[in-house]
Amino acid sequence: MNLLKKIRKSVQEKNYALRPHTVSHMLAEGFDESNIVEAVGNGKILELYHEEDRCLIAGTFQLTEKIKGSLHIVVDFWSESETVEWVDIVTAYIPRRPFWKTPHMRGRRKK
């Protein structure tokens, strides 16, 4: 089973925690926990940080019947065995300029 499938399984089974930075973005940007779960479910790993057991997932969530929004989710994962037993959702945010040109292409880096 690949890493993204393992992370999705943990999230579906509610084996995750929302960290404070995630909650602050949720309040400031107007998305909620169900939007994060949806974006993990349909997203793809955009960046993988092997040395930190961390990845950036880019997904979408349904704003209205006709409009989808992009969402980035940074996840810490622990995989001692074949499964990912727990994930921490370190942060989640709506990708915007100037740091993201598109939801999948970086813009300029933070200083």
| pLDDT average, residue stretch 78-92 | 80
**Choice between 1 and 66, residue whose per-residue pLDDT is larger:** 66
Query: Tens of pLDDT along 41-74?
Result: 999 999 999 888 899 999 999 988 898 999 999 9
Domain 3-97 top-level CATH class: alpha beta
pLDDT of residue 43: 97
Taking the chain, what is the end-to-end CA distance rounded to the nearest angstrom?
A: 37
pLDDT of residue 4: 94
76-84 contact pairs (CB < 8 A, 24+): 76/52, 77/3, 77/6, 77/7, 77/10, 77/53, 78/53, 79/3, 79/6, 79/53, 82/1, 83/1, 83/6, 83/9, 83/10, 84/3, 84/6, 84/7, 84/9, 84/10
Bridge partner residues of 60 (DSSP): 70
